[in-house]
Structure 1
Amino acid sequence: MTALHATLPRGAKTTFVSLAIVLSLAAVGWGLSDADSQQLERDRILITDLAFKQMFEAYKIGGVPFFVTSDSLLNGYHVLYEESILRLEQANAQKMPAVLRFVLGRLDGVVDEVAGEAELALAARRRAVIVLGTALKLLDDGFQIDDADTMAIVDEEVTRIVEARAVMKPAWLGPPEPDFMRLDYSRYRVRGFYTRSEALTRYFRAAAWLQSIPFRVSRDDELLSVLMLGRCLASYGSEADDARCEGHRTFFRTYTEFLGVGDDWDLVMAADAAAEGLDFDLDVKRAELIAQTEDGPQINDQLRFAPDDPNAVAEPNFRILSAYRLPEAVLFQRTTDIRQFPRRDFPNGLEVCVALGSTFARDKLDGVQKAGVLATIDENLELFDIGTSLYFDYLRMIRTLLDAPEPNAPDFMATEPWQAKSCGTALAGWAQLRHTWVLQAKLNVVAFSVGRGIPAGFVEPEPEFFRRMADLAARTHALLQAAGALDHSYFSLIDALRDLADLLDQSETEEEFWQMISQLPDEDSLRLGHLRYLLDWPDSDDLPEEEWTAAMADLLRRMADDLGEGIVDPLLAGMISMYDSDITRLWPLLEELSLRLESIARKQLAGLRLDGADDAFITSYGGRLAKIMGYDGNYSSEHPKDDAPRIADVYSNPEVGGNLHVGVGRARAIYVLYPWQGQSVLCRGAVMPYYEFVDGGRLTDEEWKARLDSGARPDVPSWLRPIICGEGLTAPDFASSAIR
């Protein structure tokens, strides 16, 4: 093996030896080639091919001092954040059927409020019933509509949505028109954490459907249809009715404090517009709506031709649920506008970094239309400054990674390699954020034993980033508490009960069922194993063999249904804590962790010596991070899930048949030569590598992980490649990894 210090200049070699750091491959845990060692000495940083299933693992294995990266804290935030939003979405999945049935149940009474225009009112009602009925059928296979013709249309739509392949405009939506040519059913392909359970899968499809069908203000039947639906949210005057309607209205704007405003008009706006009833002239109402609205849609998500108005993206329209307007989505809309940038098929993630102030990103952004794209970004910088939602707080936090280094920062932080790392960190964080919001964000369519005296490690010297992370964690915690996401819930237990019932359905005999259980992957075996004792009651001896599996499946489903209503079977009372992690205590831990990292970073920049408490904190960082990421016990943190890769499609171009994906792979080791008392200390930390590529489909997380492990994995962006080891990032072999 080649010792790293043997490839360094004599002075550097003497430094390392004098510090008693043995920089052999066995010490650092990974084989660096001579070329990689020389690159590390030159650039002071190097991302290697050493992979970890979870970020915190990099900080639980000694051998060299640690380098606590901003990437590691970002990843911890995102794991905790996504788990919290998952709980909110589980609650929404439970609420949605009741909300939609409430609206649909009032529709016929609302139709009677329409004065005259009986034919128009019936057409408007038909559109409303098909849209709501399709969503309800997606949520519940048993949903039915009395009218056979309408039910047939609903069934056809459900089939196409589940298949998620067609590109067409069904007849009930009318003929292809310049502002609505076709519907891309691939948008309904379930992605992100919504693949975790059947309930979330159904909810994803239904919500995506309700976000996609426009009710155009310019069409009388569509405008009347959505106003009728809005009128269904009106209170009839009683206190109970007021509370029920207000609760339903809140459902449609769950994430305003998290993401900002919706890009389209939603059912709440329709309810406000129809608050006084439906006895009005449609032309007058149309004019009122347009006049009182500050702006129209800023993001196009339809297959359509560009509007005649060069300043417009799409005409005003309603959606039952509006997807949210994110600043980079608006920016991408403007930097790929075919009227300004013909044949610029896709945006570039670097545009986000340019807008956040990165001079490195400005230089590395390429393309023949670069000057125009940069000018457009400069004209739209306010997009990233004007918002007050949590999303904008996040962007303001990662902006601190892209500005000029702190005055006393190490010299290497002003170099291009570090700037590339910073852009990679920012975009990896952004990609993880977009993964969390893959459903709710509106999609664009185009148009990383130490020698005596050496610190246990160092913290990335970005104190402002860590301070803002503490603030972000505090605000996130407050918003999640207010939204009820941190309340104890039964969702995970309900899913486990239903999954076990499904396994029973797949088994003809008790023996076959237990054999199937024994063959489950470790993760599922642990998750479902807690419930096995339930199958001892009633005792199988009391049931005929041919009835056992069906009886057990029925028992488990009844328990799950009761839990959904808040009724806890006594047999389940002792199980709840096993399936309901108390994540509310983890957000203050993240805030505290961030503030401590800020303090250490400021001590480093001031040239102050890190004391024993600081060393102890850095040494224990991996365990603290593991706890925040949901790995509480020693066993769980020593056997982490291999589920870190995340992918999200953020832009679609039907003209070339592709979708722009952004994502992260598994955490990779980064080595840093950190300056300390006039010498250089080799440190190891970890980063989340950022990926950006175009694919013809819409990838799920499992498909993305499989691609990363195959010969078809994409390379990292060209601007990030220079700080990665010579062989690049390959598929990890965890079983043979010497560092494990």
Structure 2
Amino acid sequence: MLKPNSRCEEFDLKIKTLIVICLLAITLIPGSGCIDSNSEPVKETGLEKVTDKQDSSPDVTVETALEGNFSEKSNTLELETGSSFSRYYSKENLQFEAGVPAYSLPLKASEITNYDDFIQKIPLTNKNRDLLYKNGFVVIESRASGNLFEAEPVRVNEIYSALKSADIPIFITSDSLLHLYHIQFDETLKQVEKDEFYDDLWKLDKALLETSIEDYNRSIEDKASEEVTEAARRNVAYFAVALSLLQPKPEQIEQSQRYLGKATLFDPQNAKQYSVEIPSFVKADVEAEIALIGAQKGGISPIFKYYEDYSQYIPRGHYTTSEKLTNYFKTMMWHGRMSMLLRPNMITSEESMVKESVTEKSAAEESEKESRIQTIQALLISDHFDRDKNLRAEWDRIYDVTAFYVGFSDDLGPYEYAKALDTVFGNDREESSFDNENLTALKTELERYENPKIYGGTGEIIPAGSETENKTLEATKGFRFMGQRYTPDSYILQKLYPPALNIMDLLGSEKAREHLKNMGFSENEEYKERHLSLENEFEAFEGEDWNKNLYWAQLYALKPLLVSYPEGYPTFMQTEAWEDKQLNAALASWTELRHDTILYAKQAYFVGAFYDLEEIPVQGYVEPVPEFYARMLALTKMAHSGLAEMEVLDEQSDKDFTTLESTLEKLLEISIKELENKELTDEEYEFIKSFEKNIAPMLENIDEDTQSSVVVADVHTDQEGRVLEEGTGKLDLIVVAYKQPDGRIVLGAGPVMSYYEFWQPSGERLTDEEWREMLENKPPERPEWVESFKS
């Protein structure tokens, strides 16, 4: 350890040392690490993120080491507000008084000014008309709209373009804006993963493979303990698996017909740089692990000795569009799911796997030994992070950007384990060892961190009566290299179980609660108790809690769609059927969000007088939900500014976000004028009429599959080996009767999303391509409650 060369520097050093000790003491108080497993509100508190980190170079000064202590940073959910991303979020506070004149329900055809002209272009069945008259709107399947479309549309611009061509008044829907945002969100994430993160991850894993090999060779030379040697060997295997998954396969470089020829293959010249040689002493374990990942079924991990659900490694979401993304998906799933466990409960002893009769004591001792080995593995990796700023830079780049998209992990990672090393060994680790005494002290420090909140399927559920959930979460505490992220919807599904209506209920939908009651959920006492706990938790959230990353902020943007609209809003919006329609939109948008983040989000287991139309034309309408547009605008600006600051946006993506922002600004302005019953300007009416033209710039460079409304995502795995699939289908058409400022009731139309929820065997987790085929040949039923607005 270097000594200060003056009294001044010595005093400076003592002050800085005291500050660091105080900070470490604060963060090690129980309740200040990652989020715990109780029902307290999830808030980001803890140490401020440190960016200047300690280098392993010999000329590093004491001051630098103290000022930039690597272990002061945390990768878990509980972070200082400064490490949250809410600073990018700023929403306009709206002031308006809704005063749209009402019309009486049920409507009559004679009250609708353009009724005859409209139904000649879009035929309505008797059932369509009944719902239109009853609610002031109806949703119909696009294929039932006559000759308006050449094929059933799956892209929003197709519908707006066809409506304009047919001279049908356009109704701009909230569904459209949610879908357009999804396209930008998914496209930017896909781009940075393919263009940057794949290469970053390769460099990171390659460097850690090499250092792990050095650790293994050194442990043999130094005659280290059996556990330390085995830990080093398993780290070699762990990173060799990651690189094997990333490495281009011959069929991924040569011409392939997989994915109907849509997948982008590796460039032969580029692929040469991604090659890894597996050391002979781990080759058997690596090949066995790769085989299980390829089989995509559940089994005991050869490296980690506990049950893993390998069906999670089925590439899905946007990761089937490119061979590079497919490999990136599998590798990040490996890093996000495989845990180096702190406790032995989940581990199956090797002895018990090969022998039929093993004493309970012998099995317990073997499992305890395995947990010590896994903990040493994590400590070795974290120690290298503490010494090498280049490793940290690669890791931080991937983690920080993905945390902006999805959020933070609820598992421990390299920062927490490095902090434990600092606490036990201090600044001098050269003579440190992982003997029983030191390892016990390290595990004691790590135990002070809180348990994960979501059980992600590691090992087997521990049967412990009413304590099953807590015991299982305790047993899964450990190190994940790039842990999957805590999201509130997965947390809700774990606590209340499916259906996804439970999520919308907790987001404020009274309609969702009503449907759940009709399904019998509210009769169960345990459900009532858990629901009340969650309700209290979510009610405690403030604006900053909801806007700490893009995932949470999108859920926040959905909330204004889930309310009951009061007097002063258009008549059709005051109906119960409209509440169902908005519930459908929110669920469909949430499905797209889960589709986009499937790799990172931790999945929980278990009218009046007649007018001359030629003199006074019928004009279009914007769905008047100003608060929704304001939140979507704030969300879009948050994504734009955050990603720009992180330097992951290309020039086209930057322009696309700007287009979406200006579109939302215009819709916000128009929707307020509509609610105040003010006449729109000719320019504003033209904006509505030419909506397809206005949004075209942000879509022209995006492939058709990315624009498609047909996506699927599995969001929950139950104990029977089934997964809950959430899907969006082909776009439907909404026909709405709205009142114009001149008093006429007119019909307009626009696209709305369709939503599905169904169960699949876990080994058959659906890709988008498979879902499109299922939707075409044997689609599942839509939820019963959509019948209130759809026919």
TM-score under structure 2 normalisation? 0.70
Cα 1:375–1:463 shift into 2, 3 Å: farther
The answer to whether 1:248 aligns with 2:395 is yes
2:336–2:481 CA contact under 8 A, matched in 1: yes
Question: 1:199-214 counterparts in 2 under 5 A?
Answer: 199-214=324-339
Q: How many residues align?
A: 589
Taking the aligned partners of 1:251 and 1:113, their CA distance within structure 2 comes to 31
Taking the aligned partners of 1:11 and 1:231, their CA distance within structure 2 comes to 72
CA offsets 1:68-101 (integer angstroms, 9 cap, x no match)? 1100011111111110111121121121111011
CA offsets 1:15-57 (integer angstroms, 9 cap, x no match)? 33xx3553354323xx321221122111112111114231122
The answer to whether 1:456 aligns with 2:619 is yes
Question: 1:360: which partner in 2?
Answer: 511
Counterpart amino acid of residue 260 in structure 1: G
Taking the aligned partners of 1:242 and 1:669, their CA distance within structure 2 comes to 54
Question: 1:138-177 counterparts in 2 under 5 A?
Answer: 138-140=245-247, 143-145=275-277, 147-164=279-296, 166-174=297-305
Question: 2:120: which partner in 1?
Answer: 26
Cα 1:404–1:451 shift into 2, 3 Å: farther
Cα 1:323–1:405 shift into 2, 3 Å: same
Question: 1:523-672 counterparts in 2 under 5 A?
Answer: 582-630=652-700, 643-653=708-718, 655-672=719-736
Cα 1:701–1:311 shift into 2, 3 Å: closer
Q: Aligned with 2:473: secondary structure?
A: coil
* Mean CA deviation greater in 322-331 or 714-723: 714-723
Cα 1:454–1:98 shift into 2, 3 Å: same
Question: 2:53: which partner in 1?
Answer: none
Cα 1:476–1:307 shift into 2, 3 Å: farther
Question: 1:119: which partner in 2?
Answer: 226
Question: 1:365-404 counterparts in 2 under 5 A?
Answer: 365=516, 366-372=518-524, 373-381=527-535, 382-383=537-538, 385=541, 386-387=545-546, 388-404=548-564
1:300–1:314 CA contact under 8 A, matched in 2: no
Question: 1:286: which partner in 2?
Answer: 443
Question: 1:259: which partner in 2?
Answer: 406
Cα 1:630–1:440 shift into 2, 3 Å: farther
Taking the aligned partners of 1:660 and 1:623, their CA distance within structure 2 comes to 37
- Which one of 360, 375, 379 corresponds to residue 227 of structure 1? 379
Question: 1:734: which partner in 2?
Answer: none
Question: 2:748: which partner in 1?
Answer: 683
2:141–2:731 CA contact under 8 A, matched in 1: no
Q: Aligned with 1:720: secondary structure?
A: helix
Cα 1:214–1:434 shift into 2, 3 Å: same
Deviation for aligned residue 1:319: 1.2
Supply the RMSD in Å over aligned alpha carbons. Answer: 2.7
Cα 1:38–1:625 shift into 2, 3 Å: same
Deviation for aligned residue 1:215: 0.7
2:405–2:551 CA contact under 8 A, matched in 1: yes
Counterpart amino acid of residue 266 in structure 1: G
Question: 2:473: which partner in 1?
Answer: 314
Q: Aligned with 2:781: secondary structure?
A: coil
2:105–2:134 CA contact under 8 A, matched in 1: no
Q: Aligned with 2:159: secondary structure?
A: helix
Taking the aligned partners of 1:307 and 1:284, their CA distance within structure 2 comes to 29
Cα 1:301–1:98 shift into 2, 3 Å: same
Cα 1:37–1:659 shift into 2, 3 Å: same
- Which one of 179, 189, 201 corresponds to residue 314 of structure 2? 189
1:53–1:641 CA contact under 8 A, matched in 2: no
* Mean CA deviation greater in 381-390 or 675-684: 381-390
- Which one of 25, 36, 41 corresponds to residue 133 of structure 2? 41
Deviation for aligned residue 1:246: 2.9
Cα 1:443–1:38 shift into 2, 3 Å: same
Deviation for aligned residue 1:107: 2.1
Question: 1:690-709 counterparts in 2 under 5 A?
Answer: 690-696=755-761, 697-709=764-776
* Mean CA deviation greater in 139-148 or 353-362: 139-148
Question: 1:715: which partner in 2?
Answer: 781
Question: 2:72: which partner in 1?
Answer: none
Deviation for aligned residue 1:667: 1.4
The answer to whether 1:70 aligns with 2:174 is yes
Counterpart amino acid of residue 765 in structure 2: R
Counterpart amino acid of residue 436 in structure 1: D
Deviation for aligned residue 1:405: 1.7
Taking the aligned partners of 2:783 and 2:771, their CA distance within structure 1 comes to 16
Cα 1:608–1:231 shift into 2, 3 Å: same
Question: 1:305: which partner in 2?
Answer: 461
Cα 1:307–1:284 shift into 2, 3 Å: farther
Counterpart amino acid of residue 674 in structure 1: Y
Question: 1:215: which partner in 2?
Answer: 340
2:493–2:500 CA contact under 8 A, matched in 1: no
Counterpart amino acid of residue 670 in structure 1: I
Deviation for aligned residue 1:368: 3.8
The sequence identity of aligned pairs, in percent, is: 25
The answer to whether 1:94 aligns with 2:199 is yes
Q: Aligned with 1:304: secondary structure?
A: coil
Q: Aligned with 1:173: secondary structure?
A: coil
Cα 1:257–1:450 shift into 2, 3 Å: farther
Structure 2 spans left out of the alignment, 5+ residues: 1-103, 143-151, 250-273, 344-370, 607-611
Taking the aligned partners of 1:451 and 1:159, their CA distance within structure 2 comes to 70
CA offsets 1:259-299 (integer angstroms, 9 cap, x no match)? 222021123433443455453511111111222x2443433
CA offsets 1:647-700 (integer angstroms, 9 cap, x no match)? 0000012x3231101121121111111123444211101101111111112000
TM-score under structure 1 normalisation? 0.75
- Which one of 103, 108, 111 corresponds to residue 15 of structure 1? 111
Taking the aligned partners of 2:278 and 2:483, their CA distance within structure 1 comes to 29
Counterpart amino acid of residue 205 in structure 2: L
Deviation for aligned residue 1:116: 8.1
Cα 1:108–1:473 shift into 2, 3 Å: same
Deviation for aligned residue 1:139: 1.2
Question: 2:74: which partner in 1?
Answer: none
1:21–1:451 CA contact under 8 A, matched in 2: no
Deviation for aligned residue 1:377: 2.9
2:584–2:755 CA contact under 8 A, matched in 1: yes
Question: 1:427-576 counterparts in 2 under 5 A?
Answer: 427-446=587-606, 452-487=615-650
2:168–2:749 CA contact under 8 A, matched in 1: yes
Q: Aligned with 1:401: secondary structure?
A: helix
* Mean CA deviation greater in 714-723 or 302-311: 302-311
CA offsets 1:550-595 (integer angstroms, 9 cap, x no match)? xxxxxxxxxxxxxxxxxxxxxxxxxxxxxxxx12111111111111
Deviation for aligned residue 1:303: 4.6
* Mean CA deviation greater in 305-314 or 281-290: 305-314
Taking the aligned partners of 2:419 and 2:705, their CA distance within structure 1 comes to 49
Question: 1:571: which partner in 2?
Answer: none
